[in-house]
Structure 1
Amino acid sequence: MTRKQQRNGKRRAAPALTWVLLAAATAAALTVGACALWLPDRAPSVLGAPSMVESAPASVQEYSGTQQVNVVPTVSGNRELLGNASGTVTENWTGGELRSGTRAYQVNDRTVVALHTATPLYRDLKVGDKGEDVRSLNDELGRLGYDSVPQSAEYNWNTGNGWRQLMVDSGNSNGVAPEDMDMRLSDTMWIPEDVVNVRDWTAVQGSAVQAGAPLGTVPGGLVKLAIRNGSPSEKERTLTVFDVAAPLPAGSTEITDAGLLAQIAATEGYQGKTPEERAAGMDAQLTLNQTIQTLRVPAGAVFGTDGASACIATGTTQAPETVPVRIITSELGASLVQAEHMDANDVHDVLIGPTLATLRCG
């Protein structure tokens, strides 16, 4: 074989070897792919079944009860003040204000006393008389510091003695005559609150007045502020409206104190609102007078809820302990509760999850 023939043979062998190598690589790839298709799927370890969370931490939190609320006003209309005496006004002490138990004016030299009673007085009264007007008179005499039997619907000796004392103080009596124990309606003028502002007063000195005729007007004003959808509390609270702090006794959701209401009505915040804006409700802040210690737990740890009563569970899933609690409030996925018969500082973890469904509350 010549050298030329040997070179040509080598050239023909090189492509053949290349094709053999390509065929072998292709076969190996196909074999691996086929095996991968037939192998069972295996999930990554990070996607494995999660472990069950069965408890969560609990912590002690001081609760002040501070919350934003909406208060709705009750506003009265103008009211006329009616006199019960007829004659000539010989003296007048009424300026722009009248207070219960004080002198208002004088008719035929006899003093007329302004008096606020829950039930307006409408008749003369003497020892032995009974009725709701008598009960109201007893209550007001007691509030003013005179002898009486508060809450009693009978005009007894104490009531008469208290009335006699008031008439002596007003200048109508020296207190020695037996009839001084009797109440004369003409000596009184009913006012709708303990203290009222008066407009258009006509019983000036020298004028003639008639029983039953209007003598002045009490302008309509704020008579109550109530928390919209308010819930009473066992604790004393403070309701702050336009920077005026008003105490709320336990069980109360409204302000009725005339003095506090007058302060609120005089604020720029109240005066700056239209009647329609006031009727729609005004912002206020409600706070407990004393903070209370609560237990902060996840909302999902509370079960068996019945109103404000519920339960939480402590211990382990194998040995759970049900703890009755009172729900104070809920916020941001957590509940603030007070545990019954257990110190909150002793609770560090509470149970959550399916275990709670197997427990009974109460």
Structure 2
Amino acid sequence: MRGLRHYAFIGTAALILGTALGGTLVVLLVPEAPPPSLVSEQRLETVTPAVIDFTDPREVRVALTVDSASGLRSPVGGVLTALSCVPGGQVSSGSNVFAVDGASVVALATAVPLWRDIPVGDDGQDVIALENELLRLGAEVEPDGVWRWADALAFDALLRPVGVITTDDGTVPIVSLVWLPSPATVLATCSLSIGSILAPGDVVARFAPRIRLATFAPPPDAVGGARELTLARGSVSAGADGVIAGPEALEVLAAAPEFAELDLEQGHPTLTASWVLVEPIRVAVVPPSAIRGLSGNRGCVQERGGATPVTVIASQLGRTLVVPPHRLGPIAVHPMGGTGCP
């Protein structure tokens, strides 16, 4: 109403003036300037960029090479008299997992499956594999590929507590050992129950499907630095070669809910994960219009002291993330057309 009264006042004054000047009517409508509190800036001229931590997340599809499920196979026939099996639980190398006719059978994660009795003096691939695993488990052996009395004594000291020793002449009895594909192997199902009649080679418990290799295509424009794949539960180190082959990392992938949801019967199983920097980098958030002289991922922003070079890291949701040489002060949102990079 104030504005209307103001226009009315000017109109009345003009009418009186026109009459006084011989009847010529000139009406001038001059609006009153709005108060400063109601003035909104049409364009923000400068802005001080916020600084945030950025992990450069990249969604990647991880292709998996999966071994078909196998299991704990009894090395001997007889009656299953003891069984330590829980679906979803783990069997560890060096543990007593079942017994046949009252005799313990111990799991060992050797590099190759053991296939024979090993007497003192024998050598071979299986011997070096056995020595290496005994050493990993804490036995005092010197792996050289030859089975010696010292090895037999170390074997007995390590495995006697779980019910297995060598024979009187130092021979490793194959009927007392069952092979594991990895030091800690997850069981999917328990195939038999105590009292079952076994034949040699019968599966006592089945392993969960095991990932042998995982690969993905790293985005070529990703920020350099140590990276990892993040999953619903846990993360695994994953470098720029896109290959994950370490046993521990593959076990993390196999334990992920994303893997459990895959249909392994379809072939070529893949899961989706986020590939991120292990250590976030500090980036400045600027309007896209503030970048000038962009060439590749290099450009400039205009500070009060002149043009400042920046490296563009990413653009998302109408904002551009850059790495400047120093913390930016106020920058021009719309730099002048002639603004260039030094």
TM-score for the superposition, normalised by structure 1? 0.53
The answer for the alignment partner of 2:192 in structure 1 is: 201
Q: 1:238 to 1:274 in 2, by over 3 A?
A: closer
The answer for the alignment partner of 1:88 in structure 2 is: 78
The answer for the alignment partner of 2:280 in structure 1 is: 291
The answer for the alignment partner of 1:165 in structure 2 is: 157
Q: Distance in 1 between matches of 2:302 and 2:146?
A: 65
More helix by share: 1
Q: 1:296 to 1:197 in 2, by over 3 A?
A: same
Give the partner amino acid of 1:240: L
**Correspondence 1:106 to 2:103:** no
The answer for the alignment partner of 2:55 in structure 1 is: 64
The answer for the alignment partner of 1:9 in structure 2 is: none
How many equivalent residue pairs? 276
The answer for the alignment partner of 1:122 in structure 2 is: 115
Give the partner amino acid of 2:106: V
The answer for the alignment partner of 1:192 in structure 2 is: 181
Q: 1:246 to 1:139 in 2, by over 3 A?
A: farther
1:183-230 CA distances to partner (integer Å, 9 max, x unpaired)?
Answer: 33332111334222344337x5473533xx233452553636847424
Gaps of 5+ in 2: 1-46
TM-score for the superposition, normalised by structure 2? 0.55
Q: 1:169 to 1:276 in 2, by over 3 A?
A: closer
Gaps of 5+ in 1: 1-55
Q: 1:71 touches 1:225 (CA, 8 Å); kept in 2?
A: no
Q: 1:349 to 1:283 in 2, by over 3 A?
A: same
1:92-140 CA distances to partner (integer Å, 9 max, x unpaired)?
Answer: 2243456132213334554221222343223444578353x45544554
Q: Distance in 1 between matches of 2:152 and 2:321?
A: 56
1:315: how far off?
A: 10
Match of 1:261 among 243, 254, 257: 254
In structure 2, the residue corresponding to 1:106 is in which secondary structure?
Answer: strand
1:3-61 CA distances to partner (integer Å, 9 max, x unpaired)?
Answer: xxxxxxxxxxxxxxxxxxxxxxxxxxxxxxxxxxxxxxxxxxxxxxxxxxxxx998744
1:246: how far off?
A: 1.7
The answer for the alignment partner of 1:237 in structure 2 is: 228
Q: 1:264 to 1:314 in 2, by over 3 A?
A: closer
Give the partner amino acid of 2:160: V
In structure 2, the residue corresponding to 1:197 is in which secondary structure?
Answer: strand
Give the partner amino acid of 2:163: G
Match of 1:345 among 313, 327, 331: 327
In structure 1, the residue corresponding to 2:234 is in which secondary structure?
Answer: strand
In structure 2, the residue corresponding to 1:65 is in which secondary structure?
Answer: coil
Structure showing greater radius of gyration is 1
In structure 2, the residue corresponding to 1:121 is in which secondary structure?
Answer: coil
Give the partner amino acid of 1:93: L
Q: 1:219 to 1:312 in 2, by over 3 A?
A: same
Q: 1:335 to 1:177 in 2, by over 3 A?
A: farther
Q: 1:153 to 1:315 in 2, by over 3 A?
A: farther
Trace 1:131-170 onto structure 2 (pairs within 5 A): 131=125, 133-134=126-127, 136-147=129-140, 154=145, 160=152, 162-170=154-162
